[in-house]
Amino acid sequence: MRGLMMDTPLLISSIIDHGATVYADREIVSQTVEGPIHRYTYAHARARSKQLANALASLGVHAGDRIATIAWNGHRHFEIYYAVSGMGAICHTLNPRLHPVQLDYIVNHAEDSYIFTDLTFVPLLEAIADKLTSVQGVVVMTDRANMPDTSLSNALCYEELIDNHSDEFAWPQFDENTASSLCYTSGTTGNPKGVLYSHRSTVLHSYGLALPDSMQLGEGHCVLPIVPMFHANAWGIPYAAPMTGVKLVMPGPRLDGASLTRLMTDEDVTMTAGVPSVFLGLLNHLEETNTRVPSLERVVIGGAAASQSMITAFEQKLGVEVRHAWGMTEMSPLGTVSVLKPDMRDAPEADRYEVQGKQGRPVFGVEMKIVDDDAKLLPHDGKAFGDLSVRGPWVCSGYYRMDHSPAHDADGWFATGDVATIDESWYMQITDRKKDLIKSGGEWISSVELENLASGHPEIAQAAVIAVPHEKWDERPLLIAVPKENASPTKETIQEYLAGLVPKWWVPDDVVFVDSLPLGATGKVLKTKLREQYASPHSGTPPKE
């Protein structure tokens, strides 16, 4: 028997309609690329989204067309998210930090018909323009006064484009499983793969994000997503914001510690979210200037493991709660969040931080399991580690224009490529990316755990551990570390420090000190680059006995 409830489709346009009516005066504040701070309301944002939807229709854009963006977090990017998906087209976010070769591959693979670009990325598009086979025009996200001289053949000005269009636009109603947006994985191995989100997955994911033990969003909060809108849709925050009425603060291109501190302080930001490498910059700035952001209550750290030292720096020095989260582009991206269970809140400090160092428990909507090489389920004892698989309504069921995905199995599980433990209370902990695990003498060493411990050393700012080939043991760990300013740690002191924390055979045979670690397109340490540099037979760092 079917239930007698309305079959209202879950559409992205309904989110902005809700924000623009129920939270009409709630603000969106943006640091623009041009310089000034821009400020308006959800009601105004919807009006301009509708103007843009009319403009796109006048350009001949139809439902299902792919419209790309290459832009920072800002108000125009927000409008594009809603206009494009709202009219039934597909909003394809391009990551400007990708190699140009990957960018033109992605645009051609998606067959994007228009690209919206911030001023920053006009030169980047000019450089690849002659390789783009499907693009009919580029819209520069600025006003006439700031339009650049450009060699792009069909460059339009955003403000002019929408200017003469009405802000009346009836969002079409359609099946909630219709594609809404597209984001390619960064493709560290092989070509990038397209993850094609639907209206339904996006709306459900927004509910998941808003839950109390997830990102806990609501009208009382002011959120600054540091995580870019070109990286897994800023983890879905631009969708969950008008749904919940949070004040939204967009940092634009200014992601350095000083700029973030200023913007967060000026706008009374209560929560922010991003990858560890940007928080490193923020923490350094706060420490150097001996400042804090008085309004800041919570940070969500994900995308790569948050080290214990980062968690304690936020909590002890700044009084800011850390929520460690894990996910993937393929998961929209929310998977797990680490929030202490009520009976853990009074536990000894070390125990609490251990739990917060884990990646957390699944948010409703995400099923997960760990299995061994024979696909046998592993116990939840916090020790057994295996391949982590997930499934749920906001996990991708395949990749865009790819016939077969080796990561998906017949029962609908998606193999994440991460290796993890799950404990009795369902806290999941990533021990490694499968390809980053180190196999020494037939036993596994977790590079993530070594990195976490090494960055707890008082003289180490950042650490990465990779496997180097070894004749006898197959692989041995190599630690590559960035010393803190004015510190001069030695290989021996670091090895001694680690020997007190891990089994003897885990201690890296060598420690290389560097000024900085290479970061990839999503702000994470590029281990492929480190392996090329330090672990290849030609790297000049011979494995040691």
Q: Give least dist CB 514 to ligand ADP, A.
A: 21
**Strand 386-391 and strand 367-371: pairing?**
antiparallel
Q: Cα(36)–Cα(34) distance, rounded to whole angstroms? A: 6
| Residue closer to ligand ADP (CB basis): 129 or 232 | 232
Given a contact cutoff of 8 angstroms between Cβ atoms, the answer to whether 295 and 270 are in contact is: yes
Piece of the chain touching ligand ADP by CB under 6 A; list 14-22, 88-96, 238-246, 415-423: 415-423
Residue 261 bears catalytic tag: no
The single-letter code of the amino acid at 277 is: S
Q: How far is it, in rounded angstroms, from Cα 126 to Cα 117? A: 11
Query: Is 232 one of the binding residues for ligand ADP (CB under 6 A)?
Result: yes
Q: Minimum distance between the CB of residue 26 and ligand ADP, rounded to whole angstroms?
A: 26
Q: Which two tokens stand for residue 211?
A: 């839950």
431 in contact with ligand ADP (CB under 6 A):
no
Contact between 326 and ligand ADP by CB under 6 A: the answer reads: yes
Please, are residues 99 and 53 in contact by the beta-carbon 8 Å criterion? no
- Residue of minimal CB distance from ligand ADP? 303
Other C-beta atoms closer than 10 Å to the C-beta of 501 total: 15
Q: Which is nearest to 408 in space by CA: 244, 98, 155, 195?
A: 195
From 41, 150, 354, 444, the catalytic residue = 444
**Residue 288, H or E segment:** helix 276-289
302 binds ligand ADP (CB under 6 A): yes
Residues 332-371, one symbol each (x = binds ligand ADP by CB under 6 A, - = not), give -x-------------------------x------------
In the complex with ligand ADP, which residue's Cβ is closer, 13 or 329?
329
DSSP string over 219-263: TT-EEEE-S-TTSGGGGGHHHHHHHHT-EEEE-TT--SHHHHHHH
Residues 459, 285, 340, 228, CA torsion sign? negative
Give yes or no for residue 309 binding ligand ADP (CB under 6 A).
no
CB 195 within 8 A of CB 340: no
Q: Which is nearer to ligand ADP, 65 or 451 (CB)?
A: 451
Stretch in the footprint of ligand ADP (CB under 6 A) among 103-111, 261-269, 324-332, 469-477: 324-332
Which parts of 464-523 interact with ligand ADP (CB under 6 A)? 522
328 forms part of the interface with ligand ADP (CB under 6 A): yes
Q: Lay out the sheet containing 66-70: strands in order across.
A: 155-157, 137-140, 114-117, 66-70, 90-93, 179-184, 194-198
Is there binding between residue 418 and ligand ADP (CB under 6 A)? yes
**Strand bridging mode 247-250 / 386-391:** unpaired
Task: Indicate if 421 belongs to the active site.
Answer: no
**Which of 86, 327, 386, 392 lies at the binding interface for ligand ADP (CB under 6 A)?**
327
* The only residue of 179, 182, 269, 305 in contact with ligand ADP, by rule CB under 6 A: 305
Closer residue to ligand ADP in complex, CB, 29/420: 420
CA distance 122 to 35: 17
The nearer residue to ligand ADP, 19 or 303, going by C-beta atoms, is 303
Q: Report whether 325 contacts 334 (CB < 8 A).
A: yes
**Span of 155-163, 166-174, 411-419, 509-517 interacting with ligand ADP by CB under 6 A:** 411-419
Q: How far is the CB of 447 from ligand ADP (least distance, A)?
A: 11
Helix axes of 276-289 and 257-267: crossing angle, nearest 10 degrees: 80
248, β-bridge pairs: 28, 223
324 counts as binding ligand ADP under rule CB under 6 A? yes
Residue length of the chain: 545
Report which residue type is found at 161.
L
- Residues 303, 357, 392, 489: which binds ligand ADP (CB under 6 A)? 303
The single residue of 330, 449, 451, 475 carrying the catalytic annotation is 330
Residue 444 is among the residues annotated as catalytic for this protein: yes
Of the listed pieces 342-350, 362-370, 412-420, 495-503, which binds ligand ADP according to CB under 6 A? 412-420
Q: Which entry of 317, 341, 439, 544 is annotated as an active-site residue?
A: 439
193 carries an active-site annotation: no
| List 55, 119, 141, 304, residue binding ligand ADP (CB under 6 A) | 304
Rounded to whole angstroms, the Cα distance separating 522 from 492 reads: 33
- Rounded to whole angstroms, the Cα distance separating 506 from 501 reads 10
Instruction: Tell me the closest approach of the beta carbon of residue 395 to ligand ADP, in angstroms.
Output: 12
Residue positions annotated with a catalytic role = 185, 330, 439, 444
Residues at the site binding ligand ADP, with contacts judged by CB under 6 A:
185-186, 231-232, 302-305, 324-329, 333, 359, 416-418, 430, 433, 522
